[in-house]
A and B are shown apart, each in its own frame.
Chain A
Amino acid sequence: MMSVLRATSLLLFFTLVGFGLLVGGDSDDARWLALLGTGWLLLLVAFWPSLPASLPTFNRTAIRTAFLLATVFAVLSVQLVRIQVVRSEATVTRRALDPVTGDAVTNPRVIESDLDVERGRVFDRNGSVLADSVRSGDVYRRVYPEPESAYVVGYYSPLLYGRDGLEATYDAELRGDEGTNALVRWRNDLLHQPQEGLDLHLTLDARLQRTAHELLADRPGAAVVVDVETGAVLVLASNPHYDPNRLFTASPPEREAAHGYWQTLTSDPASPLLLRATDASFTPGSTFKVVSAAAVIDAGFASPETTYEDDGSFEVDGRVIPENENRPDDSTIWTLREGMAWSLNIVFAQVGLALGPSVLRDYGDRFGFDEEIPFDLPLVESQLASDDEFLDERPALAETAFGQGQLLASPLHMAMVAQCVANGGQMMRPFLVDHLRNEEGDVVERTEPSVWREAISPDAAAQIEEMMVGGIERGVAAGAAIAGLRVGGKTGTAELGEGQEPHAWFIGFVGDPEPRYAVAVFLENGGAGMAGSLAIGRELLAAAMAGTP
């Protein structure tokens, strides 16, 4: 009887404590303490010393007291296992906020070891250093020598704001905590020697990135260049941006300065910490017509020669859509090819109606709208419509097909749309990190280009590609032509409503004759006319081709 009770108590003790340690590891401390207290009582029952009645009082009481103290030591040990093993990792990196000032409290060990580590360097595709760790006194300083590319690497601010960008995504590799030989790592750990950080080699081209910034000048916007065949990102320019050198801190005065700089960054209405190329999405305007055209051709609903009526105004369910001012003459019948070249909204309104909501959603999906596109940096999701029923309304469907409605897309995503069309309908997975190298210079990890989406058939892609090239030869994007090269492109003016300058877009590709590079240029509130975005796109494509051996 007694032994059954004891065995049950012991079993219960192990179940309770085991549950508390492993399953309820994240449960709050008060509940865990209650659990442990119950466990202690069970432990008392399980092991309560049964002493012969003949034993003198003193011996009995002394043995029981000793037993009681011993069980408390056991409970202390269990608690130590919880703190030092089970909850260890969660606690080490735990951040807590001061309720009054809102200041964060973090583990000083993590911060200090961040300054002790010689992080791996970051290079662009030609071997220019984008981020370096420089020994200074007893700490390693992080420096970013290329101001136009620095923010793509992110910032490294151990004492204050942590890390961001590639510094965050590849933190473990840059520190040497991952990717290197496990045995070597274990040895270094045991001997308290610093780990060897891995170097990042990017696909970014610092020279081209500089060109992009010269072209953007001080206008807010973004410019992206990707390799059509691989999806490698050569330019990822965002305006405005920030200088990560000013966020690195190793001493209190620097801390003050960095704090001040951070305040200006966060209070700036232009939000320079928000990188336009990847962190934000905007109405794509007519550049989305590439997706609509791809959908209607790939679905077999139309061909480039299919004709649409456009007499300057179009009524759908009582809503009148006026034509823009792009028509070169007063014809009323236009082919899809012409509609694309002259960016005719009424042609694409009819394309949208022909597609219907479900087919348009399907192609939105295939092109990566409302999807998380895998990338080395956080990339905001683009959207077809913010609410599901929106496209069920025919006017909304028509508007969406020519790039308005509730559409939002990031500049990088629009570059990938151009890449997809130029690459036979295969959207590659965009990437920024080409390979990682260890201290000996051996390549530890290499990014293999991979197809992310088979969006449309090669046949349909070829037709869209041809239409985009035609738009440069004769159409609104004629200004993008580059002598001796085959250029395709599509402009976009995203109307934002009363009183706001529209966004100016350009997406396109260049090749000789096969497409090599795709581009997307976005000027926030860049105004109608598209000359700005178009010119930047052309210059970037020309520069990319000029840099190609």
Chain B
Amino acid sequence: MIARSRFRFTEFQLLVAPSLMAIVGLLTIFVAPRGRAEWSWTDIWVSLAFVGILFGMSLGFGAIGFRGDQVVFPVTATLAGLGLLIVQRLYPDLAALDDALAGLAQRQLIYLLAGLAVLFVTVLLRRRVIEWLRRFKYTWMILSLGLLAITYLFGTEIYGAKLWLYIGPVSIQPSEIVKITLVTFMAGYLEDKRDLVGTSWRLGFLRLPPVPYLLPMGLMWAASLSVLVVLNDLGSALLFFGIFLVMLYVASGRLLYVSVGLATFAAACWFAYRVFARIDIRVQNWLDPWQDPRDLGWQQVQSEYALASGGVLGSGLGMGRPYHIPEVQTDYVFSAIGEELGLLGSLAVLALFLILVMRGFAIGLRAQDGFARLVAVGMATIIGLQTIIIVGGVVRLIPLTGITLPFVSYGGSSLLTNFFVVGLLLNVSGLRRRSVNGGSRR
């Protein structure tokens, strides 16, 4: 399909903000510790390259005739730029603490580039991506579940959780992939069975949900959850559960499903709390990490110090000491932002995520195709829930479960998959009225 190219003016304008942030921010990081206003162009080549790629991509979107949303990409770029800044800021301090983290910044750059490429390609392929996802939904699901199983068998355990699969020098985190296939599978399945999911089954006097159609999904859900409990990845388990409930509710409109889901979830939580000691520890750490500040509560206490030290305005980029928090580059990146950019910075980051999520729902609401709109809502939910789970854990609204802050945390799998998530959102926003697979037009 040949489309006329078009200059994406709104997007181009909005990209000025992340560009300025990336350049000024990196300058600050280099100038701050020196105490003198001396810098050279080589200091900020990273940001200049980043800015160049952003505008290039925007022009590229226009060139291929992409007519989709113009807000999602600049917001994503701002968050990714912030992640870039934070890693650039942290790696000298972290490398001084631990040699293994010396290559942090370079790897983050590579992941970021690869992520942007994934985003661009996802948009470039247009409806074909959506079609593939829908047509091969069982295949993707089984493949990703298989990946989880392999991780269980051959994965590497870090901090008591088997999250990573090492293939040569590359490590991947299969749960990041599963979150996407979970959404696309459910979207496809629920869309296929749309007419049946909303109906009910009669069994004598009882009106039951259409059990045979929900059964495969229930199995899937149970399988993924149990694998995760076995793999020890509670954050992803929480995320999957949330996605599952939202998809079911949005597609069916039945509060009954949500109630049953919530009830089983509460039961599962209670069970896990009683059975696994480590969950007990997490709950204790959530309610009062100060009880055991040197051992179990150490990380959380350090994070509290960081956030509190930030105050309203923050210490300024490069002027704080967030490197005292263990794993600050992944789970606790939000605390580093809170310390150095203050309440204003942390609220701004939350606002950006909120904009992104709301924009995603809006894309879903505007989409015509039943599958695509469910995918859009699912993708927005992934970003929203993931933010809530990790930020909620960091600020101790809920127990902390290790999961990344999308686009900002360090981590290859997370960056790549989240850029794919945004790519799908953009992709759906760009779909024309003709629906996928030539399906019915309403």
In the assembled complex, the Cα of A192 lies from the Cα of B320 at a distance in Å of: 11
Judged by a CB distance under 8 angstroms, whether B338 is at the interface is yes
A46 to chain B, nearest CB (A): 18
Structural contact, B308 and A88, CB atoms closer than 8 A: yes
Which residues does chain B contribute within 8 Å of A73, judged by CB atoms? 350, 353-354, 387-388
In the assembled complex, the Cα of A494 lies from the Cα of B274 at a distance in Å of: 65
- 8 Å CB contacts to A: which residues of B341-359? 342-343, 346-347, 350, 353-354, 357-358
Residues A33 and B397 in contact in the complex (CB < 8 Å), given A65-B246, A80-B338, A108-B321 = yes
- Interface on B for A, CB 8 Å cutoff? 32, 198, 246, 249-253, 287-288, 290-295, 297-298, 301-302, 304-305, 307-312, 315-316, 319-321, 324, 338, 342-343, 346-347, 350, 353-354, 357-358, 361, 364-365, 370, 373, 377, 380-381, 384-385, 387-388, 391-392, 395-397
Structural contact, A84 and B310, CB atoms closer than 8 A: yes
Which residues does chain A contribute within 8 Å of B346, judged by CB atoms? 80, 84
Structural contact, B309 and A109, CB atoms closer than 8 A: yes
A59 to chain B, nearest CB (A): 6
Partner of A57, one of B253, B342, B350: B253
- 8 Å CB contacts to B: which residues of A44-98? 57-63, 65-66, 69-70, 72-73, 75-77, 79-81, 83-85, 87-92, 94, 96-98
Partner of A66, one of B251, B287, B319, B357: B357
Partner of A65, one of B250, B309, B338: B250
Structural contact, A29 and B288, CB atoms closer than 8 A: yes
In the assembled complex, the Cα of A76 lies from the Cα of B384 at a distance in Å of: 12
> Beyond A69-B384, A73-B354, A73-B387: 16 further Cβ-contacts under 8 Å?
A29-B287, A29-B288, A29-B396, A58-B253, A58-B373, A62-B250, A65-B250, A70-B354, A73-B388, A77-B347, A80-B343, A92-B305, A96-B293, A98-B294, A105-B298, A109-B305
Q: List 29 A–B pairs whose Cβ atoms lie within 8 Å, in order of A's numbering.
A: A28-B288, A58-B250, A59-B365, A61-B249, A62-B377, A65-B246, A65-B250, A65-B381, A66-B358, A69-B381, A70-B354, A70-B357, A73-B388, A76-B392, A80-B338, A80-B347, A84-B342, A88-B308, A90-B308, A92-B309, A94-B304, A97-B293, A101-B294, A105-B298, A105-B301, A108-B324, A109-B305, A109-B309, A192-B319
Which residues does chain B contribute within 8 Å of A96, judged by CB atoms? 290-291, 293, 297, 301
B104 to chain A, nearest CB (A): 21
Among the interface residues A76, A94, A100, which one has the most CB atoms of the partner chain B within 10 A?
A76
Judged by a CB distance under 8 angstroms, whether A477 is at the interface is no
In the assembled complex, the Cα of A28 lies from the Cα of B290 at a distance in Å of: 11
A108 to chain B, nearest CB (A): 5
In the assembled complex, the Cα of A88 lies from the Cα of B306 at a distance in Å of: 10
Structural contact, B294 and A103, CB atoms closer than 8 A: yes
Judged by a CB distance under 8 angstroms, whether A112 is at the interface is yes
Structural contact, B304 and A91, CB atoms closer than 8 A: yes
In the assembled complex, the Cα of A81 lies from the Cα of B391 at a distance in Å of: 13
- 8 Å CB contacts to B: which residues of A1-47? 28-30, 33, 36
In the assembled complex, the Cα of A62 lies from the Cα of B385 at a distance in Å of: 14
In the A-B complex, the 10 residue pairs with the smallest Cβ-Cβ separation, listed nearest first, are A91-B308, A96-B293, A105-B293, A57-B253, A66-B361, A98-B294, A84-B343, A69-B384, A96-B290, A107-B305
A96 to chain B, nearest CB (A): 4
Judged by a CB distance under 8 angstroms, whether A99 is at the interface is yes
Which residues does chain B contribute within 8 Å of A101, judged by CB atoms? 294
Structural contact, B388 and A76, CB atoms closer than 8 A: yes
CB closest residue in chain B, given A106: B305
In the assembled complex, the Cα of A72 lies from the Cα of B385 at a distance in Å of: 10
A101 to chain B, nearest CB (A): 7
Structural contact, B307 and A83, CB atoms closer than 8 A: yes
In the assembled complex, the Cα of A475 lies from the Cα of B252 at a distance in Å of: 106
B398 to chain A, nearest CB (A): 9
Which residues does chain A contribute within 8 Å of B291, judged by CB atoms? 96, 99
Which residues does chain A contribute within 8 Å of B294, judged by CB atoms? 98, 101, 103, 105
Which residues does chain B contribute within 8 Å of A66, judged by CB atoms? 357-358, 361, 380
Which residues does chain B contribute within 8 Å of A109, judged by CB atoms? 305, 309, 320-321, 324
Which residues does chain A contribute within 8 Å of B381, judged by CB atoms? 65, 69
Structural contact, B343 and A36, CB atoms closer than 8 A: no
Residues A192 and B316 in contact in the complex (CB < 8 Å), given A59-B365, A69-B384, A77-B347 = yes
CB closest residue in chain B, given A30: B287
Structural contact, A76 and B305, CB atoms closer than 8 A: no
